[in-house]
């Protein structure tokens, strides 16, 4: 019962990071749940008088289980169960903690699994031009992309085929789903502001 808040927080954190079950071992999940449980109880005790949500009560030789009826404690625990993994998930997603470590010259790594994720998360507000292996080119807005390196799908909206004469021809479709197996390279285009600044 004591670990339930941490287990739920761990599940919320995993959802936010879009991690696959293969990327984290059972031991890592347990450690993560223990850390979240500890943090939840620390924050609850700092902001309210903490007591276990479930207790065992021994009366004579009988042992009974008693759930807390303190609604403030329950609501505060629920709030921290959602708030703590949400905030930490945002820190990890936006690579804030690793930016600090890179600034301090402690590492040159990011918090993400692949360069694919790094580029698409950091440069998501750019139009891209995809060069296909059959030498065709298509430009568009990367609305969705796979974070699974084995899939590598990109969903382009506002897509235009680019001719050899650099003319843009609209696809007249909502979007195109392109598999990485068909991609030779991807260009990330300048924003208008960046062109003016040069």
- Which CATH number does the domain housing residue 155 bear? 2.30.30.100
What is the distance between the alpha carbons of residues 136 and 80, in angstroms, rounded to a whole number? Answer: 51
**Mean pLDDT across 90-95:** 88
Kindly report the pTM of this predicted structure: 0.69
Residue with tokens 């984290």: 24
Would 109 be classed as within a structural domain?
no
Domain with 174, as residue range(s), is 115-197
What is the distance between the alpha carbons of residues 77 and 70, in angstroms, rounded to a whole number? Answer: 11
The chain-wide mean pLDDT, for the chain, equals 84
For the chain, state the CA radius of gyration. Answer: 24
**Mean pLDDT across 111-127:** 79
Give 3-state DSSP helix, strand, coil % of the chain, rounded to 5: 45, 25, 30
Give the chain's domain count.
2
What is the distance between the alpha carbons of residues 16 and 25, in angstroms, rounded to a whole number? Answer: 18
Q: Contact 42/74 with Cβ under 8 angstroms? A: no
Which range of 17-21, 41-45, 55-59 scores highest in mean pLDDT? It is: 41-45
Same domain, 65 and 21: yes
Residue 60 has pLDDT above 80, yes or no: no
Would 110 be classed as within a structural domain?
no
What is the distance between the alpha carbons of residues 180 and 170, in angstroms, rounded to a whole number? Answer: 22
Which candidate, 133, 145, 149, places its Cα nearest to that of 188?
145
Q: Contact 106/30 with Cβ under 8 angstroms? A: no
Q: Which residue has the higher pLDDT, 19 or 118?
A: 118
Residue 198 has pLDDT above 60, yes or no: no
Q: Which residue has the higher pLDDT, 71 or 174?
A: 174
Same domain, 16 and 99: yes
């Amino acid at each position: 019962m004591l670990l339930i808040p941490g287990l739920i927080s761990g599940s919320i954190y995993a959802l936010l990071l879009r991690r696959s079950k293969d990327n984290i071992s059972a031991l890592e999940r347990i450690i993560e749940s223990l850390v979240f449980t500890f943090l939840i109880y620390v924050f609850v005790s700092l902001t309210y008088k903490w007591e276990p949500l479930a207790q065992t009560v021994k009366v004579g030789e009988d042992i009974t289980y008693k759930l807390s009826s303190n609604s403030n404690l329950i609501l505060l625990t629920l709030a921290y169960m959602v708030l703590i993994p949400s905030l930490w998930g945002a820190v990890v997603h936006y690579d804030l903690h690793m930016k600090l470590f890179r600034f301090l010259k402690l590492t040159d790594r990011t918090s993400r699994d692949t360069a694919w994720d790094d580029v698409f998360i950091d440069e998501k507000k750019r139009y891209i031009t995809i060069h296909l292996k059959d030498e065709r080119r298509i430009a568009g807005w990367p609305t969705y992309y796979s974070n699974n390196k084995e899939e590598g799908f990109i969903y382009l909206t506002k897509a235009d085929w680019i001719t050899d004469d650099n003319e843009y021809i609209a696809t007249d479709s909502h979007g195109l789903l392109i598999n990485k197996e068909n991609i030779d390279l991807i260009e990330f285009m300048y924003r208008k502001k960046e062109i003016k600044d040069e």
